[in-house]
Amino acid sequence: MVSDSELIARLREFLKESDLNTTTTAIVRRRLEEDFGIDLSEKKKFIREQVDVYLQIQFENAEEEEQEQDKDDQMAKIKSEETDDSDSDVEEEESERTRNKRAPAKKGSKGVNNEVKRRGGGFNKVCRLSPQLQKLLGVPELARTEVVKQIWAYIREKNLQDPDNKKNIICDEPLNALFGVHSIDMFQMNKALSKHIWPLDSDEVVSVKSTEKEKQHKHEREGGMDGK
Select the more confidently predicted residue: 152 or 82: 152
pLDDT beyond 70 at 93: no
Instruction: State the average pLDDT over residues 195-206.
Output: 70
- What residues contact 153, with CB distance under 8 A and at least 6 apart? none
**CA 20/CA 58 separation, integer angstroms:** 12
What is the count of structural domains for the chain? 2
Domain span at residue 60 reads 4-119
For residues 27 and 90, state if they share a domain.
yes
Asked, for residue 218, whether it belongs to a domain, the answer is no
Select the more confidently predicted residue: 204 or 185: 185
Amino acid at 21: N
pLDDT digits (tens, 9 = 90+) for 71-85: 777 777 777 666 555
Averaged confidence pLDDT in the chain: 77
Select the more confidently predicted residue: 201 or 17: 17
For residues 90 and 178, state if they share a domain.
no
pLDDT beyond 60 at 168: yes
- Look at residues 100, 119, 138 and tell me which one is the last residue of a structural domain: 119
Task: Give the chain's radius of gyration (CA, Å).
Answer: 23
Asked, for residue 208, whether it belongs to a domain, the answer is no
Asked, for residue 70, whether it belongs to a domain, the answer is yes
pLDDT digits (tens, 9 = 90+) for 23-47: 888 999 999 999 999 999 999 988 9
**Residue (of 76, 75, 20) closest to 51 by Cα position:** 20
For residues 114 and 153, state if they share a domain.
no
Top-ranked range on mean pLDDT: pick from 43-47, 92-96, 176-180? 176-180
The CA-atom distances, in angstroms, between 211 and each of 92, 179, 186, 199, 214 are: 64, 21, 31, 18, 5
Dihedral in degrees, nearest 10, Cα atoms 82, 85, 90, 91? 60
| Residue 184, domain CATH | 1.10.245.10
Instruction: State the average pLDDT over residues 107-135.
Output: 67
